[in-house]
Structure 1
Amino acid sequence: MVTSCPASPVSPAAPAGRQDDEQNLRAPVKKSRRPRFRRKQPLQPLQPGPLPGDSGVCDLFGSPGSSSDGADSPSASAARGCSPPPGSRAQQWGALDLQTFRDYGQSCYASLRARESQFHPRGSLARQPQVTAESRCKLLSWLIPVHRQFGLSFESLCLTVNTLDRFLLTTPVASDCFQLLGVTSLLIACKQVEVHPPRVKQLLALCCGAFSRQQLCNLECIVLHKLHFSLGAPTISFFLEHFTHARVESGQVAVPEALEAQTLARGVAELSLADYAFTTYTPSLLAICCLALADRMLQLPHPVDLCLGGHPEETLQDCLGKLQLLVAINETSLTHMLPHQIFEKCNLSPRRLK
């Protein structure tokens, strides 16, 4: 039951109606007797942080009011302090967590290896009348430098290619919309992995204004619907990290050598992602073969054990042979994809690769 507070003395000059209103509106207020703590240090001014972007999370690549020609470019984003490019030494050393591998490594590997066949798109261009292996290679050869300029992870690139190929299995795509499908797949992959994915207007600016924002959003909905929102595919990136942790944990190789081999294997795997001939191999098979080829190129005394992946010997040798030919053809491209200190140690002689 709420009661009015007791009447307080009011000035005789105050009207009677005003006295009644004040009595009815007032409520008892109990002052807090908690002690007040003062900060020992003054508050520091807040740093200018990222503003919400159109991908649902905070955006690192500039404010919404910035223009899309210069301020939103990937190179300008990198200059403002975005994440280091894949393969940098700081990112490598921070990614090797042996304790987490001991606790969850084998269970995660067993789970993803069991689901690998469900997410593996075989013959993705079999039902495509306008998209060819050459056009796919051109698109991915364009997306790989784009993902590097944005400072995205290798996992994002692998998920992009997987989303692209799996959608090609379900729906015929016109040749003039193939680039839009590429950037849409990149956006979907980045939303799963990256803390700060690229903004829609940045991706549209890369296409030189050929597509609208509404077209990209509509295609994103179509891709998600066709794939039934099943996006967590096992990737080459995961298996490369798993095999690297496994060989370091077993004491077969030192940590610096294992990280250098992993970086080189990522470069070889990037080349294989753009080649349609390697879509027949599963990510775990490609990962172990890329790592074995990287060990040969770096001339490590204890190369990785090919039996770690549990694949047939004939399939392993077939994949290794094609990877050697791929590296020999794209030696110049591999030079620009790798850190200089790692590429200097590589021996690309055909005799050494065998």
Structure 2
Amino acid sequence: MASKRQALVLQQKKGGIPPMGKQKAVAVAADAKNRRALGDIGNLVNARVVEGKIETQVNRPITRSFGAQLLANAQNAAAANKKSVTIQSDQADVKVCVKSAKKVAVKRKEKKNVEIIVISPDSNEEKKYEAGTCRKSSRKKATSLTSVLMARSKVACELSDKLKELVVDIDASDKENQLAVVDYVEDIYKYYKSVEHSCRPCDYMDSQVEINAKMRAVLVDWLIEVHHKFELMPETLYLTLYLLDLYLSTEMTPRKELQLVGVSAMLIASKYEEIWAPEVNDFICISDRTYTRELILRMEKRILDKLQWNLTVPTPYVFLVRFVKAAECDTEMKNMVFFFAELALMQYSLVSHCPSLVAAASVFAARCTIKKSPLWTETLKCHTGFSEQQLLDCTQILVNSHAAAAEGKLKVAYKKYSDEQFGAVALYPPATQMMEELTASKTVPRN
């Protein structure tokens, strides 16, 4: 026994029979030869015996035709009536001939009826559509409320899109100009429109004892002349008239101090708007030394105290700049707009109107005078917020003022805009006839 063990040990050292036994060693060697790569793991299939030979089952990729074959086999097993299905190889087309198309109810655990749908190959469906064998549903499509609402909203969207196309983007050319603040300009003017009602003067002439609307017109005519002689900014003139009217609407003013209020208001507006404002001595000289330096400075302080030092307000000029841009005005049209705007400053009946309405009416009056077509565009309506009908009353006042300016006593604005420097736009014939036609079309005849 000892000799046999020694011999076995020697054979193991020389690479002979392993300690597990001869038969086990042969089996291990056979398995080692039959091992496959890791990529084949999971793809191994059971071998089946066919006529005494071992035939390995090969996995077939699931193509569209093969999937249709599998589905047809499953349906044949579940269906009561058998269907003849002819399946060719992968290279040939799959032809499915269905003798009877009956639906079979399959009972599940939830006892729900499931409809088995026969899926035919794409080629057969295409042939059916080409041959026109696909029948349309005999049911009439009922119009639902949702579809009606969607159709109406679509029409409304198309109308709004058309209006957007008609509105010109007036800020497109200023996108590179940082001073134009294109990103904020719409919000700025929305704010102006919201606060213009709270800071406008009221109708104050009934509360004044010694002054009237004609005296105010004389003062405004003189202030326009002073403004032009000093060559001040346009903003200064409009702010001056705002300070004048707001102070007169809150304070009883004697007749002898009316011009003093106007001079002090222009002094304040010049300090606020101008880079090089006129000095007090300039206003003393322009008023023919009627008032002293102390009187002017004292009135200046009274005005500021009454207004609580609030000078940042939307005047008509703020809206004029925007509306002129929306009207796409040339130089002639621009001069005509500012001519009507200065005529509006002299009209006391327009003091209580919103500055945006006065500015829009000035643009409309200018377009009527020059006979622009159309008189009012969608772009102007969008940016001003007013239609033609809303501007007719205010425009009528401006056109009548233009018609009376040539023969009136207060003609500083008329002379100023009759000069070639401003294109002599005041010499245009007034648009009285056109305003009569527009006013007649506005009135509705009574039955």
Post-superposition offset of 1:319: 0.8
Conserved? CA contact 1:241–1:262, under 8 Å? no
Return the offset for 1:151.
0.5
Query: What does residue 433 of structure 2 align with?
Result: 351
Matches of 1:97 and 1:274, distance apart in 2 = 34
Q: Please say which of residues 102-111 and 205-214 is displaced more in the overlay.
A: 102-111
Q: 1:136 to 1:230 in 2, by over 3 A?
A: same
User: For 2:204 and 2:426, how far apart are their aligned partners in 1?
Assistant: 37
Residue number in structure 1 paired with 2:337? 265
Q: Which has the larger radius of gyration?
A: 2
Matched, 1:317 2:392: yes
- Within 5 Å, which residues of 2 pair with 1:1-354? 99=177, 100=180, 102-248=182-328, 257-305=329-377, 307=381, 308-311=383-386, 314-331=389-406, 333=411, 335-338=414-417, 339-340=419-420, 341-343=423-425, 346-352=428-434
Shift in Å, 1:353: 5.1
**Correspondence for 2:119:** none
Distance 1:260 1:102 in 2: 26
Quick one: which amino acid aligns to residue 430 of structure 2?
L
- Post-superposition Cα deviations, 1:195-242, rounded to whole Å, max 9, x if no partner, equal 111110110112211211111111111110110011111111111111
Hey, what's the Cα distance between the residues in 2 that align with 1:238 and 1:126? 29
**Identity over the aligned pairs, expressed in percent?**
27
> Letter of the aligned partner of 2:415 in structure 1?
H
Amino acid at match of 1:211: Y
Counterpart AA for 2:307? L
Give how far 1:342 is off. 4.4
Tell me the alpha carbon deviations over residues 238-266 of structure 1, each in whole angstroms, 9 at most, x when there is no partner.
Answer: 11111122343xxxxxxxx4343222111
Is the 2:360–2:386 Cα contact (8 Å) retained in structure 1?
no
Q: Which runs of 5+ in 1 are unaligned?
A: 1-95, 249-256
1:102 Cα deviation (Å)? 2.7
Counterpart of 1:336 in structure 2: which amino acid? K
- TM-score normalised over the length of structure 1: 0.66
Aligned AA for 2:276?
A: H
Structure 2 distance, partners of 1:143, 1:97, is 34
- RCO (CA 8 Å, sep 6+): is it higher in 1 or 2? 1
Q: Which residue of 1 aligns with 2:57?
A: none
CA–CA separation in structure 2 for the residues paired with 1:103 and 1:198: 35
- Partner of residue 18, structure 1: none
Distance 2:294 2:219 in 1: 21
Aligned residues: 251
Question: 1:282 and 1:221 mapped to 2: Cα distance?
Answer: 27
Report the Cα distance in structure 2 between the residues aligned to 1:160 and 1:126, rounded to whole angstroms.
22
| Aligned-pair Cα RMSD in Å | 2.2
How far apart, CA to CA, are the structure 2 residues paired with 1:266 and 1:170? 28
Residue identity matched to 1:293 = A
| CA distance in structure 1 between the aligned counterparts of 2:426 and 2:271, rounded to whole angstroms | 35
Question: Cα distance 1:152–1:137, how it changes in 2: closer, same or farther (>3 A)?
Answer: same
